[in-house]
Structure 1
Amino acid sequence: MARSRNIKPGLYKNENLAECSIWARFVFPGLWMLADREGRLEDRPKRIKGELLPYDSVDVEPLLIELELHGFILRYVVGSNRFIQICKFAEHQSPHVREQASAIPGPGEALENTSKAMPSITKDVPSIALDDDMSPPRSPDSLIPDSLFSDSPITAATPGGVVVASFAADQRPARSIKPDCPHQEIIAIYHELLPQCPQVRDWTTARATQLRARWNEDEKRQSLGYWRSFFEYVGTCDFLVGRSGKSPFFADLEWMTKSSNFTKIREQKYENRN
């Protein structure tokens, strides 16, 4: 059920929000109306679309990814259920006293119920410089879900570093949970198999969103084995790795994961024809 909320003039001047697409900026205040008095709602992209964009052919999932990457919402899991916490909601909204109390558990409960962290598979992989909005998870002490306009994202993590967040296409307990895109591991495989191609130095929000989109488009791509095979194939294409022409071209990770280029690689349009 939608609720009445306040929109302050500063919303349209927020520089961080300006980095999001126009559709993400449109959906963000709509989430306030769907949220309860604590700024929480179920993470169900299809249902959110039905409430906020019933007449538009727009996918809500990428918009939620944008908003989380820029620190405006926190997506988390409690048990088998997925939820969204609007950051700094309480600071900018004053729900009516008669509004029903929240029945949704907060991010803190997600931390309490999260199992022990799995061992890291990036032990010997050098870290990549990240944008502010892709910064490493903060400690649980910093999880204060009360900001609509945070300068950096609020991410829920266990003491072992497991992020309690989600980018699933829909929220239904019976459905399987999509694994989050392991950016660092994919970058490490790219560096290992394609050392002649440009090295990744800064993993920006735009690059992260682009790689995550390719990861989420097909379940077959949601494994490191797929990306190892993909980069191995790229290494056989002379044009992509600087082995053809008088002016060698070297494809980088950003170029490869761009939708049109990724499709052309998969369609073997750069394969050697000799």
Structure 2
Amino acid sequence: MARIRSIKPEFWSSEQVMECSPMARLLFIGLWNFCDDGGNHVASAKTVKAEIFPGDDISSSDVQRMLDELSSNSLIAFYANGDKQYLHVTGWRKHQKIDRPTYKHPPFSDDARRGLDEASPPEGKGEEGRGEEGNGEDLSSLRSDSSAPSALTLGGGTDAQVQVLDPKQRKTARIQQIAQDAQTAYNAIMAKPEGLLPACTVLNKPRVKAVEKALPTVRQLCVRLFGSEKVTPQFWQLYFETAAEDDFHAGRQPGGPGHENWKPDFEYLLRESVIAKLADRALSEAA
């Protein structure tokens, strides 16, 4: 039975929520109406599609992708009870105030959590995931290998962890991770010995700032390519592979008169104008 649920104003500015595509956000809100009073629902894409998008041209596979997107951002968690699969809206108890709750589905617990792939971080991070909406503590990570409820895993999948205490630190850590992903892809594809360009060996403040300045354009491209603003290592791999196919941006074609020895570098390839130009060319050719 569908229920009336509440949406807090903080929902819209939650970093976890903003990482999701608009349709996944709508699906997330719709789930609240059909979850039982424990925040649980059957993990059936067909059922969810029938309940939330009954008159829309959206397939069950589309719904499943959106559910996986919510899971990857720790907004829901999948779990099993017997041979049946369920989903749980993380942070439900703090988000929904229910006077006389009734339960339709088996309760969620970490012991019942279904084995998830690496794209689904553990429950308990962030404004929605940690069960304390509205307190500003959104600890979701851009990477899929986060492993601690109160920490962001940095360093490209190493065990190094940094406690995140406030929004400014969270933002800094997220941008640092995006920059590390860009550095890794650039060095693997564009830099010597694989390519012809100088390696990015030091990820200093100017280089991290260059990544940050490029994010508006990068996020638009991620929506176009993947249906989500989330900036993943896959984007940087695709971008630098595109740059490597271009003679000038790969360093195979010299610059103009007086700049014959000039070659692009990490910062140059992170200019929004360069990213947009290469993306326009690649997408036009693909079309």
The TM-score normalised by the length of structure 1 is 0.49
Higher normalized helix content (fraction of residues): 2
The TM-score normalised by the length of structure 2 is 0.47
Higher gyration radius (CA): 2
Greater relative contact order (Cα < 8 A, sep 6+): 1
